[in-house]
A and B are shown apart, each in its own frame.
Chain A
Amino acid sequence: MNRLFALLILLFAVFPLSSFAEQIDTTFNLNDVVVTATRTPKLLKDVPIQTRLITAKDIERTDATHIQDLLQQELPGIEFSYAMNQQIHLNFNGFGGQSVLFLVDGERLAGETLDDVDFTRLNMADVGRIEIVKGAASALYGSNAAAGVINIITQEGGSPWMLNVGARLARHNEQRYGGSFSLNRKRVSNTLNVNYTGIDNFNVTSGPQPETRVFSTVYGDKTFHFKDKFTVRPMDGMKLTLRAGYFYRTLSRNPDTPERYRDFTARLRGIWDISAADNIEVSYSFDQYDKSDYQKIAGLDIRDYSNVQNAVRAIYSHHFSNTGVLTAGSDFMHDYLFNPRLDGKSRKQDNVDAFAQMDWNISPQWELVGALRYDYFSDSHDSHLTPKLTACYRFPQNHKTAEPQNLTLRFGYGMGFRAPTLKERYYNFDMAGIWTVLGNDQLQSEVSHNLNVSLEWTRSRYNFTAALYYNHVRNKIATGIPFYKPDHTKQLYLSYTNLDCYRVCGAEATIQAHWAGGFSGRLCYAYTQEQLPKDHDGSTQYIPARPHSLTARLDWDKDFTKNYRLNVGISGRFLSAVEGKEYVDYYDISRGTTAIHYPAYTLWKLSTMQTVGRRFRLTVAVDNLFNYRPKYYYFNAPVTDGINLQVGVSVTLQ
């Protein structure tokens, strides 16, 4: 398998450089508009803060169902693993899920389980593109954006009407069915998207004497997504979008008590180009995420969690002629949490903020972006002032050839913060007698300082990016060391606390290429170095980030006739081994810790996509091509029990 990586590296090295300048912008999507980095639309090639764009075409090729399927194939340095109770946990370059802000069309997601949003909510069926901005972005997005922002942007209808239906089948009775219908008129458009996914539970077997906890059953689930997006343009320069969504997921850890997850979203957004230079956006969004247990025997569906977020936002942008863009805005969010395990069962708080950003084009080469944001949280009476400053230098065109160098250097500083959640402040949960998890209303916000520098170079058929980053994190919020209360020596407690300072630094490099004959490829490498807090040793909650990771993809596209197109792709990922630590004896931590070895692994996928007459598409993929089976199903082992054939069809009428 490592030979495949070697082959890919060789391909990148030996394919000839040739004149390709006229196609550079479109080949690497550099003319695509992105909005996340500065909260204003910019071309990817002009954005002053490095942004990774995953296009609809990328999503189509990966054939991903949920966001974790996609991100694991596309990005190195990202790992989805299991937390307790087999909830999906994200490690994003050394940061946990609570430090990565997931947005859908710019809006936050309600609900969490063990610090992560419900990733199964993020179905890829209606996604137009995904923008990933790494590094602290709290100056624009507030809490939870310490490690970066992943903004999922839904599709906009294009053709007058379009109907698409599709299905995919795979191992373990994995099923995916979906359909969408969009209608576009001059001033009105509507897109309806309905999807169903399902996969059975299946068992996996580990070898003898694992070093730590393993899982033995992979819990499948069934999900149902309904989304509708209605857009009206009452006059030129004004757009009003109404979005409504319903999500339902059920899984059976316990046959008599299937768990149910529901989400209700609604959003109303108005964008008005007041003049050629001024733009205002006003939005209201509602997101309610519920969990319940359906007791089959008693026929009762009892809700045991509800997080409701109501948010109102206004953003104003003014474009100064050739010199830059001023963006200012404010959000108000009411956050309500119901959980019988909370002290008081329900809690609520308001978050108010105001922010401003100046994107200043100092010269054709230099661009400077400065942002400042103030946040206030009513429950903790906590307030934050969060700055960010980024500089971008575009190398001038070559004097001899008069051609652009397409070489951009970006560097900056950003502050990130994460306010303690209502759960972290008020939780009180006896976890089956193992220990009681306690909230802490004295928690301070986690604050991080991020320094980053990146270089992007596009030449001929190649696009190369490299980045270095350093994060210094204070007051990381996590559960601390297990302890006994003086008056209660039989019961172990685990309390949320602010940990000691820690550091995460790393590097990333990506090379993309498009060669003659329809070949294209991408190779990405990430290095992550964590220096964990000294008081975090041996925590049961944290599996460290893997130091080295690599993703690769090679595609061949061929139009055999006007009506027949073939794509053959092979993609893979490699994650290095990592050492974790656990207490030898959780009831006597003075006995110290022991090292846990989590082995490296690599997984590959071979896929073919045949398109007939632009209407019919057949996708056949072999996932886990080399039939890899972990010896031990540790919580960060890949969730696979061998080779998996996936067959999908899609029919589009328009």
Chain B
Amino acid sequence: MAKNLCNPWKYTGCVVVFVLLTACEGLFDGIYDQPPAAPAPAPTPTEVQTDSDSISKVTIQGKLYIDASSWKDWYYVDLQAMAQATAAGRDIDSTVTAYPIPTTLTREDDGRTGIYTYWFDVWVHGLSVNEYRSFKPTDPQPEPPNWTFAVHRNNVRTHGGAAYETTATSMEDVQFDRDHATFVSDRWTETEVWADQSQMIMNLIGSQGIEVNPVLSSWLRVDIPPMPPAFILNNHVFILRLADGTYAALQLENYQSATGTKCHLTIHYKYPL
């Protein structure tokens, strides 16, 4: 028996050589996913309904992929332009447009617009406990002539619009009472639009003083503590009432890129309702 069992040495040697040659950079790659290629920021929407009398009645539905992870930019979306472009068969690549958050003042100071630096109780009580430290006036936020909503990380602004959160988690299930739903307009904040992280290790964060929509912004909550922050997705469908009285449905489907970048937003939209 002992003699027979000696043979494993030979086989063992073969196995070792084989494994050495194949396993230098690891095994089991197949159990992981490869990050898919990044989709176009605004792929062509699907035309779901057309009224032949007017191109303004075209209803479009699709997804926007916006890398809004930068602290320094707002990204503007024009749903009306997208609907018109779709109806006319035009390219819509430029529908998502970045505009930087101003950091300097080149015109007259209005005493309100600028970067507000607050200390946040990051470690114990969280962001709700904060103290004002300084203000640096800047130019107002630049924006395109026409836009519907804008995103910056977990912040959302509307262009004179208002938002309402439904309980639906699917575009197909969305229902709301236009007459009784409570729409919330944008409101001023100087602690939420984080724009300056250069003092972050001292728990000091510079935020842009600007109006944001609290309802739409609730689609992605950032909890601190813990550290690093926890991102909480709210996948309800939101109704955006535009300044012209038309309605859009918006849903944040994902906030991460395939490589894990936070605030890389996948927004499902439908417009007009």
Contacts and interface: CB of A to CB of B under 8 A. Distances in A.
B8 A334 contact: no
The range of chain B's interface size is 35 or more
A301 B231 CA distance: 18
A486 interface: no
Contact of A210 (B26, B123, B255): B123
A585 B202 CA distance: 7
B253 interface: yes
Main secondary structure of the interface of A (DSSP, over half): strand
A322 interface: no
B228 A217 contact: no
A292 B124 contact: no
Interface stretch (B11-19, B155-163, B182-190, B210-218): B11-19
Contact of A310 (B23, B123, B124): B23
B1 A187 contact: yes
A232 B124 CA distance: 57
Contact of A298 (B123, B202, B225, B258): B258
A299 B200 CA distance: 32
Contact of B256 (A206, A236, A240, A297): A297
A300 B28 CA distance: 16
A141 B120 CA distance: 47
A268 B201 contact: no
A413 B100 CA distance: 62
B233 A297 contact: yes
B37 interface: no
Given A300-B33, A306-B26, A206 B230 contact: no
Contacts of A434: 197, 200-201
Contacts of A254: 230-231
Interface residues of A, number: 62
Given A256-B256, A433-B71, A586-B202, A232 B5 contact: yes
Interface string A354-376: 00000000000000000000000
B2 A234 contact: yes
Nearest to A85: B228
Contact of B260 (A304, A308, A346): A304
Contacts of B88: none
Contacts of B33: 299-302
B198 A240 contact: no
Contacts of B233: 256, 297
Interface in B31-69: 31-33, 35-36
Given A216-B226, A310-B24, A301 B31 contact: yes
Contacts of A310: 19-20, 23-24
B123 A268 contact: no
B123 A435 contact: no
Given A255-B230, A310-B24, A586 B260 contact: no
B12 A270 contact: yes
B199 interface: yes
A217 B260 contact: no
A288 B226 contact: no
Most chain B CB atoms below 10 A, which of A232, A312, A540, A587? A587
Interface in B153-172: none
A261 B197 CA distance: 30
Contacts of A215: 123, 225-227
Nearest to B32: A303
Interface in A241-289: 253-257, 262, 264, 266, 268, 270, 284, 286, 288
Contacts of A187: 1-2, 5
A339 to B, nearest CB: 13
A416 to B, nearest CB: 28
A647 to B, nearest CB: 30
A490 interface: yes
A235 B2 contact: yes
B254 interface: yes
A233 B195 CA distance: 67
Contacts of B16: 268, 284, 312
Contacts of A219: 226
A233 B196 CA distance: 66
A254 B225 CA distance: 12
Contact of A284 (B20, B199, B202): B20
A215 B123 CA distance: 7
Contacts of B24: 308, 310, 334, 336, 348
A206 B124 contact: yes
B258 A302 contact: yes
Interface of B: 1-3, 5-6, 8-9, 12, 15-16, 19-20, 23-28, 31-33, 35-36, 71, 123-124, 197-202, 225-228, 230-233, 253-256, 258-260
Interface of A: 85, 187, 205-206, 208, 210, 213-217, 219, 232, 234-236, 240, 253-257, 262, 264, 266, 268, 270, 284, 286, 288, 290, 292-293, 295, 297-304, 306, 308, 310, 312, 334, 336, 338, 340, 346, 348, 432-435, 490, 492, 540, 585-587
Closest 5 CB pairs of A and B: A234-B5, A433-B197, A235-B2, A216-B225, A308-B26
10 contacts: A85-B228, A210-B124, A214-B124, A216-B124, A255-B230, A256-B231, A256-B232, A298-B254, A301-B32, A336-B24
Given A256-B256, A490-B198, 14 more contacts: A208-B124, A214-B124, A215-B225, A256-B231, A256-B232, A256-B233, A286-B23, A290-B26, A299-B33, A302-B32, A304-B260, A432-B200, A433-B71, A587-B202
